[in-house]
Amino acid sequence: MKTNKDIFVAQLLDLVNNKELVKFTLTSPKDKTSDLKKVIVSAVELKKAYVLNFVYRHTTKDITKNYEINEGIQLINLAIEQDFNNAEIISINEILNLYTLPNGKIQIKTSKTKLNLPLTFSHDKPKDKLIALDNNIYLRELGVTNANFELRMDMSDKYRQINKYIELLAPNLKDLNLTADFHIADMGSGKAYLTFALYDYMTNELKLSPKMTGIEFREDLVNISNNIAKKANFTALNFVKGTIADAQLEKIDVLIALHACDTATDEAIFRGIKSDASLIVCAPCCHKQIRKAMNVSNELSNITKFGILKERQAEIITDSIRAMIMEYFGYKTKVFEFISMEHTPKNLMIVGKKSSKSIADKEKILANILAIKKLYGIDKHYLETLMEI
Ligand SMILES: C[S@@+](CC[C@H](N)C(=O)[O-])C[C@H]1O[C@@H](n2cnc3c(N)ncnc32)[C@H](O)[C@@H]1O
């Protein structure tokens, strides 16, 4: 007669064969002193074989191994008997939990999967992406992939965001005809997912030789990023501890500021304009300055009396005036959503390209900014203060 464990393992095999397994985990070691705390298994399609990828999670290290399907299932069978009390199968539709009770009996519970995760079994699938996974050292170091360069389930949104960002930036960068050495500054580089991807794309795809600097005031992030740059052999990418406003920088040709908080975005745009950058790209974050500065005393107060609507108005006004100021200083400017709202609500991008043509009507732009400010009872936009206009 089949035991609960046999049924559970057979179900696991079916899910693997049908390519419906999201993740399998073994937890609660029978030997409490064991250094091996957990085993995480996923099904992965390599170039030549469909295998089970085991991550053995020890106290201080992960060891990764691939097994042929039947061999892997046998190992799991043994591990449930000898090494672990609990196991969990997460499939597209169901979660199955196996518990070994103190009397040795095995109990199985089933529930509906609440996760709505994309399945990435195949190594080949993300190949059409601009940023490839294979042998990608910085994506591995940043935890986007595991030690085998396979995309981690919980990082699929981040990977999508990275690719979308490069996809959007690529035509703008190609248009610039930056052939000689040039300098890209990434203001508020944070964990630098996008900084690394941009450097990778510029050097390895476009075969350009930019110098790139990430400015970040968190020293820990600067150190981690510099270590990753070294491992990836990104010799002209450097991270510097400093503030967007004050960091010492050479001439900036491309200015990037993604999700720099509140007026830090204005400081970044200011530095880009002052440096006569050919391209300014920013994805604004919070918009506190204008929200506080708004003092509406006309019909629009019927909108701004609702907190969330005031916040949205503040976002629109802040970024519109930023775009208008960039136009005033000769940047052909576009504002658009760069990734769908479901991935990040901070999805607005402002891209300004320095135009060789003179601006049609600077006075008109100033008059329009003034009219918008008057409507919302705003004294000054922070970027105006910085630019002294
Ligand atoms: C939300 S994170 C975004 C990181 C990265 N640009 C991205 O989009 O993935 C913002 C980063 O900017 C840094 N930051 C914010 N204001 C800054 C400033 N004035 N000077 C330097 N770094 C700043 C923060 O420490 C944080 O790491």
Say if residue 178 is in the same domain as residue 73. Answer: no
Task: Look at ligand 1, atom 12, and give the residue with the nearest C-alpha.
Answer: 188
Domain end call among 81, 112, 143: 112
For ligand 1, pick from 220, 241, 261 the residue to mutate: most ligand atoms within 8 Å of CB.
Answer: 261
Residue at 120 is within a domain:
no
Q: Give the DSSP letter of residue 152.
A: P
User: Confidence class of residue 121 from pLDDT cuts 50, 70 and 90?
Assistant: very low
Same structural domain, 188 and 334:
yes
Ligand 1 atom with the smallest distance to the CA of 283 is 8
Rounded CA gap, 159 and 167, in Å?
A: 12
* Mean local confidence (pLDDT), 227-246: 97
Angle, helices 307-328/264-274, rounded to nearest 10 degrees: 10
Q: Is the CB–ligand 1 distance for residue 243 below 6 Å?
A: yes
Q: Which atom of ligand 1 is nearest to the CA of 194?
A: 9
Query: Which letter does DSSP use for residue 204 in this model?
Result: I
pLDDT tens-place string over residues 285-301: 888 999 999 999 999 99
Residue after which a domain boundary falls, among 112, 141, 175: 112
Q: What is the distance in A from the centroid of ligand 1 to the CA of 186?
A: 9
Q: How far is CA 281 from CA 38, 78, 194, 293, in A?
A: 43, 54, 12, 25
Q: 270 CB less than 6 Å from ligand 1?
A: no
Percent of the chain at pLDDT > 70 equals: 94
Considering only residues 178 and 37, tell me which one the structure prediction assigns the higher pLDDT. 37
Q: Is the CB of 218 under 6 A from ligand 1?
A: yes
Strand, coil or helix: 121: coil
Whether residue 130 sits in one domain with residue 97: no
Looking at residue 193, what is its pLDDT? 95
pLDDT at 119: 39
Q: Is the residue at 118 inside a domain?
A: no
Is residue 309 assigned to a domain? Answer: yes
Q: Is 298 close to ligand 1, i.e. is its CB under 6 Å away?
A: no
Contacts of the segment 68-76: beta carbons below 8 A, 24+ positions apart: 69/13, 69/16, 69/17, 69/43, 72/41, 73/9, 73/12, 73/13, 73/16, 76/9, 76/12, 76/24, 76/26, 76/41
Query: How far is Cα 30 from Cα 27, in angstroms, rounded to an integer?
Result: 9
Q: Ligand 1 pocket: which of 162, 165, 198, 216 to mutate (most atoms <8 Å of CB)?
A: 216
> Given this model, what pLDDT does residue 341 score?
52
One domain, residues 258 and 367: yes
Q: What's the whole-number mean pLDDT along residues 372-381?
A: 96
Distance 268 CA to ligand 1 centre (A): 11
Among 259, 281, 339, 386, which residue has the most ligand 1 atoms within 8 Å of its CB, making it the best to mutate?
259
Are both 360 and 280 inside the same structural domain? yes
User: 211 and 302 share a domain?
Assistant: yes
197 plus 135 within the same structural domain: yes
Q: What would you report as the CA-atom Rg of the chain, rounded to the nearest whole angstrom?
A: 26
Any ligand 1 atom below 6 A from CB of 193 = yes
Number of domains comprising the chain: 2
Domain residues for the domain of 60 are: 4-112
Residue 219 CB–ligand 1 contact under 6 Å = no
Residue 153 in any domain: the answer is: yes
What's the chain's average pLDDT? Answer: 89
pLDDT, tens only, 196-214: 999 999 999 888 889 999 9
Q: Confidence band (pLDDT; 50, 70, 90) for 312?
A: very high
Q: Is 264 in the pocket of ligand 1 (CB under 6 A)?
A: yes
Higher pLDDT, 45 or 244: 244
Nearest to 57 by CA among 85, 27, 24, 22: 27
- Same domain (yes/no): 96, 137: no
Same-domain check for residues 57 and 142 = no
| Residue 272 CB neighbour total at 10 angstroms | 28
Q: State whether 155 and 39 are in the same domain.
A: no
What residue ranges in 140-222 does DSSP mark as E strands? 183-187, 211-216
Task: Give the model's confidence band at 88: pLDDT under 50 very low, under 70 low, under 90 confident, else very high.
Answer: very high
Cβ–ligand 1 distance for 216 under 6 Å, the answer yes
133 and 10 in a common domain: no
Residue 377 lies in a domain: yes
- Pocket lining: 215 vs ligand 1, CB cutoff 6 Å: yes
Is residue 121, in this structure, part of any structural domain at all? no
In percent, the amount of the chain with pLDDT more than 90 equals 69
What backbone phi and psi angles, to 5 degrees, belong to 148? -95, 15
Q: Which residue has the higher pLDDT, 14 or 119?
A: 14
Residue 279 alpha carbon to ligand 1 centre in Å: 19
Q: How far apart are CA 269 and CA 274, in angstroms?
A: 8
The answer to whether residue 119 is domain-embedded is: no
Residues 256 and 356 in one domain: yes
Which of 105, 98, 49 shows the shortest CA–CA distance to 76? 98
Q: Of the candidates 78, 112, 146, which is a domain's last residue?
A: 112
pTM (whole model) above 0.85: no
Q: Is 10 helix (H, G, I), strand (E, B) or coil?
A: helix
CB 40, CB 76: distance < 8 Å = no
Task: Measure the CA–CA gap between 359 and 365, rounded to whole angstroms.
Answer: 10
Let me know: does 257 contact 282? Beta carbons within 8 Å: yes
Tell me whether residue 268 is in a domain.
yes
Q: 260 CB less than 6 Å from ligand 1? A: yes
Residue 378 belongs to a domain with what CATH number? Answer: 3.40.50.150
